[in-house]
Amino acid sequence: MMMQFEPVIGLEIHAQLLTKSKIFCACSTAFGASPNTHTCPVCLGMPGVLPVLNRQVVEFALKMALATHCRIAPYSQFARKNYFYPDLPKGYQISQYELPLAENGWIEIDTGETPKRVRIHRIHMEEDAGKLIHDEHNRLSYVDFNRTGVPLIEIVSEPDLGSPAEAADYLRKLRDILRYLEICDGNMEEGSFRCDANISLRPVGSKALGVKTELKNMNSFRNVQRALEFEMRRQQALLQRGDRIVQETRLWDNDRGVTVSMRGKEEAHDYRYFPDPDLVPLVIDNEWIERVALSLPELPDAKRQRFAEDYHLPLYDAQVLTASRDLADYFETVVKEFPEPKVVSNWIMSELMRELNRDEKDISACPVPPANLAELLKLMKTGVISGKIAKTVFQQMYGTGQSAKTIVEEKGLLQVTDASAIESVIEEVLQANPSEVEQYRGGKQKLLGYFVGEVMKKTRGKANPQLVNEILRGKLG
């Protein structure tokens, strides 16, 4: 019988913090500058310079640690991680090793019925390395030190993730939290949010951990999941043949859809860590922790629950609307003006998001301000325009940025609620369709829909459908 295996997955995430300056010097962190213009003797690792810790980095790291229920170390330390690489001018990276900023946290991910708790092993601060640019045509390599010293936090999970899909969910949740906190833009494609994954297999039911491999070079949520799925199959095939897994680092090759061996996995002792003698230990008192805790915004889980309860929304709606802080704020602003949450939710999730997705636009770039959507919904609710017309008006609002009222007035889209006007159109329709009228009177009731359709056609959708129905029934009855 074939032995069944289950994956054990842990993720290491690097999140670039949105501070204005680097972690140990005053150089700018702005993206996109000419190479090597955001540098100074400190981040270039010149002899005799001293790093000075950026207080904002600690504040941001504390926010993430508190948002993920970590225990904050009252005393933590920076350490040197020694290795040689052309993008690392000092020959070491300043990171945290034995005494990290925070440990023992958790977040919850949704796995169907009940949320699953994924433990966070540690969160620590460190500096980024430079960037190598390879010109393969001319067989040259360039190095840009603008990124050297840009602040990162590394978030290391426990191996609690039981499938590639769970890993992707965890990753999304962490990114949502970072974005809610406004401390990282979460952009995987641009590398400001990076993920390495550890994966091993073990026989189903076993508690022991198998030999793991580390996967790198996955620059989207989808690639993380695909790389883990591939690696699971690869390891399973080896184990079923009776072969051993080699502990190593493997690169995801997105074009071929496979992982390839990169190098043997380093052990911690390969880096010869030791406390950085240039930086004093970091002491964080309770007052500082409390102040940061008070500054935390409402986080995704809490907001989703509040949306479901206070607005009586289905969980699905609450989840979609709280995916970002901006979208949640948009919804709440509209509801303040037009207090029918489910109607607002439907409009945002269908009409609005369809347009935004098509243009690949974020809600922050939405051309329809919340007040304008509220106005449109009021016009519909009070019968000034029909629901069908409202959708057309919305598309024009989105395209032009104009208000609902302006469009309705300019295009003459006001709903016809004048009974005598509707009555005359109905008369026309009935006179033009004598045989249908006869059939209806003879018992073919479903022809009512046909008459309604004809009236709407003649009024170009502007007749109030309720009135049309009422009058038609009276006339035909």
Task: List, in order, residues 6 or more apart from 457 with CB less than 8 Å away.
Answer: none
Question: Which residue is associated with the tokens 């702005």?
Answer: 30
Q: Euclidean distance between the first and final Cα of the chain, in Å?
A: 75
How many residues form the binding site for Zn ion (CB under 5 A)? 5
Tell me if 40 contacts Zn ion by CB under 5 A.
yes
Spatial separation of the C-alpha atoms in residues 170 and 118, rounded to whole Å: 8
50 Cβ contact list (under 8 Å, min separation 6): 42, 278
Binding-site member from 8, 43, 308, 380 for Zn ion (CB under 5 A): 43
Residues of 360-384 as b/e, b for ≥16 C-beta within 10 angstroms? eeebeebebebebbbbbbebbeeeb
Shortest Å, Cβ 23 to Zn ion: 10
| Least CB distance to Zn ion at residue 272 (A) | 25
23 binds Zn ion (CB under 5 A): no
Identify which of residues 40 and 143 has a Cβ nearer to Zn ion in the complex.
Answer: 40
Distance CA 347, CA 377 (A): 9
Q: Segment near Zn ion (CB under 5 A), from 25-33, 139-147, 344-352, 469-477?
A: 25-33
- Answer yes or no whether residue 27 interacts with Zn ion by CB under 5 A: yes
- The torsion angles phi and psi of 299, rounded to 5 degrees, stand at -95, 165
| Strand-strand pairing, 5-16 and 151-157 | antiparallel
- Answer whether 397's CB lies under 8 Å from 403's CB: yes
Considering only 37-45, 293-301, 312-320, 376-384, which stretch makes contact with Zn ion by CB under 5 A? Answer: 37-45
Residue 197 as a binder of Zn ion (CB under 5 A): the answer is no
Query: Between residue 369 and residue 428, which ones bind Zn ion under the rule CB under 5 A?
Result: none
Q: How far apart are the C-alpha atoms of 324 and 221, rounded to whole Å?
A: 17
Output the six-digit token pair for 27: 């150089």
**70 near 88, Cβ under 8 Å?**
no
Pick out residues in 55-74 that bind Zn ion (CB under 5 A): none
Q: What's the closest the beta carbon of residue 33 comes to Zn ion, in angstroms?
A: 13
Q: Provide, rounded to whole angstroms, the least separation between the CB of residue 25 and Zn ion.
A: 3
Binding mask of the shown chain, residues 212 to 251, with x at each position contacting Zn ion by CB under 5 A:
----------------------------------------
Contact region with Zn ion (CB under 5 A), list: 43-51, 56-64, 109-117, 349-357: 43-51
Between 27 and 308, name the residue whose CB sits nearer to Zn ion.
Answer: 27
Provide, rounded to whole angstroms, the least separation between the CB of residue 31 and Zn ion.
16
Residues 163-182 that bind Zn ion (CB under 5 A): none
Selected from 15, 25, 385, 422, the binder of Zn ion by CB under 5 A is 25
Q: What is the contact surface with Zn ion in residues (CB under 5 A)? A: 25, 27, 40, 42-43
